[in-house]
Amino acid sequence: MGVSLGYATVQPVTDDVRKLVTQAADELSRGRDWWTEPIHFFDDSERPGCLVGNSKLFRAGFDCDDDTFLAWRDIQFIIANLAKWASSFELTWCLSHDVHEIGTVDAKGADERVNEFFSKLAALGGHPTSDPRTIETIAEALLEKYSERDG
């Protein structure tokens, strides 16, 4: 079992919002080379009406620095899209790392707890994470290096 990032709205959403967000997530899933798993929503009987999902973050058997960096990159992309949907639809998302709550994402972005948690994750890896152009250059090279990985 892998480590996952969970995300769920703290409030139920309308059917229209559910449809728009899940369609957008599906489009993002097809249009990006994800390290492990894309944004994925599912029904959760414990949170009826809420948008609930998770994404596996890490892969076993790969260089730890590379794995951490590519997981961090996907996390940043997921958070940016959750914030965009929060702004468009007046949502607040609760993030969790496996079963532990990390913090929230709303129209302003990730809260301090989320930023601190993932800053620590970024520091574990051996790749720079401060310049978006460098991040994408490194990511492209690593994704090519590991292009034979299973889906």
pLDDT per position in the chain (151 positions), as tens? 468 999 999 999 999 999 999 999 999 999 899 999 999 999 999 999 999 999 999 999 999 999 999 999 999 999 999 999 999 999 999 999 978 999 999 999 999 999 999 998 888 888 888 888 899 999 999 999 999 887 6
Question: In which order are the strands placed within the sheet that holds 93-97?
Answer: 41-42, 52-56, 4-9, 93-97, 100-106, 109-110
Q: What is the pTM for the complete model shown?
A: 0.93
Please tell me the predicted confidence (pLDDT) of residue 1. Answer: 42
Please tell me the predicted confidence (pLDDT) of residue 76. Answer: 94
Name the residue ranges covered by the structural domains of the chain: 4-145
Please tell me the predicted confidence (pLDDT) of residue 2. Answer: 64
Q: Output the CA–CA distances (angstroms, integers) from residue 24 to 7, 21, 39, 41, 68, in the order listed.
A: 15, 5, 10, 11, 26
Please tell me the predicted confidence (pLDDT) of residue 112. Answer: 96
Please tell me the predicted confidence (pLDDT) of residue 31. Answer: 86
Please tell me the predicted confidence (pLDDT) of residue 128. Answer: 80
Pairing of strands 4-9, 52-56: antiparallel
